[in-house]
Amino acid sequence: MSRIWRKGLSISVPGPQPGGTIDRQITEEASLVIPATGDLRVEALALEGETVAQGQPLFRDLRHDGLITCAPMAGRVARLDIDSARRLRQVTLFHEPGAGRYERSPLPLDQRDLQTLTEHLRAAGLWQLLRARPFGGLADPARPPAAIFVMALDTRPGAPDPRRALDGQEAHFASGLAALAALTAQTEGPIFLCHREGAAPVQGPGPRIRLLPAAPLHPWGLAGLHIHAQRPATPDRPVWDIAAEDVAAIGALLDTGLLPETRLVSLTGTGLRETRLVRCQPWADLRGLCQGHVRPGQNTILSGSLLEGRPARWLLGTDRQATITAYHPSHGRGHWFLSALSHAARPLPLIPTAALEQSMGGALPAVALLRAIASGDAETAQTLGVLSLLPEDLALADYVTGAEPRLSALLAALLARMAEEEAA
């Protein structure tokens, strides 16, 4: 039986926690915005002004053969911003309920081999749900994973319970797990199903499905520490991770030929009169989701949790929560010593504390690893397990240390440099 780690922190969003009833809300607008630093080059498959069904292909990635992105809702393409070099900047849809849903043929069980599954998922826009380590980014079908980690536990503050997202989707979830097993057929790698102890989402899993219980402490609801503890990622042995609800989406596509219309999202934070659980489309308008539920005054909407969320108008990527924070102006002058540290020419020092050790779940030597990351020492960081991590895995360390510059940003830069050196 796998070890259940007991170190970590419980971080709560002020106010009531998400629970109770789940509302369904399709916002009138949905949009994907590519940051200025992004370089997504595409071929448009739907033109501006055209009406598209939910799940219909919108554009093809020119750098990844067969990789399609599909419409998150039935709507009209209100804006399609593609520059002369075919870089996508923004695509916006207006809701048109009468446009219906785009139907594909279900994939019979006897046709769910590695190649067919890969092509099917890429053509339906679901391949992007698989994330690769080391370095992050898109899973490479030419480099099969040593293991896949399915996250049925999310310990970020205010996150919705993934078990609720699977209610009524048990059969599709089982189909999705079987599909993941087929994707690791070459390596015979296991599928680790990470879940809250005492609450496994499946009964009697398959021979290559391994249940991995965890205490509901952050950061054990993230994949990074589980990967480091069970199957450390290396360039020669990549590891993939995916959310449990996305596994059910894969199963639904294979079983029915339809893409799910919604995902479960929580809305929490001090700027709300009450927390909400909603089923909404990807790229949803966060202002629309919050309308009528925010407190008077100035608020900031973050896509993501209080720890790593980014100010945004639209639900970003695979985020499953939004945090609305009330604006609190700073009063008075800070202590002179803290002010001196914050204005020093060098970064703030890392001070070993119990909270810092807890922020890494006890699975990694926190101080040594974080100092290696902060100094850019790639060799030491790799020895200590950095290749299994992504920036989100250090958000809690940022929170408990108040580090400047942020450790998660330093990790992102270090991983980018290591990836370039690996590719050279």
Provide φ and ψ at 252, rounded to 5°: -65, -40
Task: Give the domain range for residue 73.
Answer: 27-99
Contacts of 338 (CB under 8 A, 6+ apart): none
CB 264 within 8 A of CB 25: no
Q: Are residues 120 and 49 in the same domain?
A: no
Residue 328 lies in a domain: no
Show which of 70, 99, 128 is a domain's final residue. Answer: 99
Q: What is the pLDDT of residue 404?
A: 82
Picking from 357, 338, 360, the residue whose alpha carbon sits closest to that of residue 404 is 338
Residue type, 368: A
Residue 3 lies in a domain: no
Q: Are residues 133 and 237 in the same domain?
A: yes
3-state class of 133 per DSSP? strand
Residue 8 lies in a domain: no
Neighbours of 123 (CB within 10 A): 16
Q: How far is CA 252 from CA 179, 188, 248, 256, in A?
A: 11, 24, 6, 6
Q: Are residues 157 and 238 in the same domain?
A: yes
Rounded distance between C-alpha atoms, residue 389 and residue 393, angstroms:
6
Q: Are residues 118 and 249 in the same domain?
A: yes
Q: Are residues 33 and 134 in the same domain?
A: no
Residue 241 lies in a domain: yes
Rounded distance between C-alpha atoms, residue 229 and residue 80, angstroms:
43
Picking from 51, 43, 97, 93, the residue whose alpha carbon sits closest to that of residue 72 is 93
pTM recorded for the entire structure: 0.94
- Counting the structural domains of the chain, the total is 3
Q: What is the pLDDT of residue 127?
A: 98
Q: What is the pLDDT of residue 239?
A: 98
Q: What is the pLDDT of residue 334?
A: 58
Show which of 78, 99, 120 is a domain's final residue. Answer: 99
Provide φ and ψ at 207, rounded to 5°: -65, -25
Which three-class secondary structure string do you get for 213-249? EECCCECCCCHHHHHHHHCCCECCECEEEEEHHHHHH
Q: Are residues 115 and 90 in the same domain?
A: no
Show which of 99, 123, 158 is a domain's final residue. Answer: 99
Token readout for 141 is 């079908």
Q: Are residues 95 and 113 in the same domain?
A: no
| Residue pLDDT tens, the chain, 424 long | 467 777 899 887 766 566 789 999 999 999 999 998 899 999 999 999 999 999 999 999 999 989 999 999 999 999 999 999 999 999 999 999 999 999 999 999 999 999 999 999 999 999 999 999 999 999 999 999 999 999 999 999 999 999 999 999 999 999 999 999 999 999 999 999 999 998 888 876 678 899 999 999 999 999 999 999 999 999 999 999 999 999 999 999 999 999 999 999 999 999 999 899 999 999 999 999 999 999 999 999 999 999 999 999 999 999 999 999 987 665 555 565 655 555 554 556 677 888 889 999 989 999 999 999 999 999 999 999 999 999 999 999 999 988 888 999 999 999 999 999 998 7
Residue 295 lies in a domain: no
Rounded distance between C-alpha atoms, residue 369 and residue 228, angstroms:
13
Residue 131 lies in a domain: yes
Q: Are residues 65 and 201 in the same domain?
A: no
Q: Are residues 113 and 249 in the same domain?
A: yes
Domain at 90, CATH number = 2.40.50.100
Q: Are residues 93 and 114 in the same domain?
A: no
Picking from 145, 215, 156, the residue whose alpha carbon sits closest to that of residue 183 is 145
Token readout for 322 is 């939004």
Q: Are residues 128 and 58 in the same domain?
A: no
Neighbours of 299 (CB within 10 A): 16
Q: What is the pLDDT of residue 13?
A: 75
Rounded distance between C-alpha atoms, residue 165 and residue 162, angstroms:
5
Q: Are residues 198 and 125 in the same domain?
A: yes
Residue 81 lies in a domain: yes
Q: What is the pLDDT of residue 204?
A: 63
Q: What is the pLDDT of residue 345?
A: 47
Residue 122 lies in a domain: yes
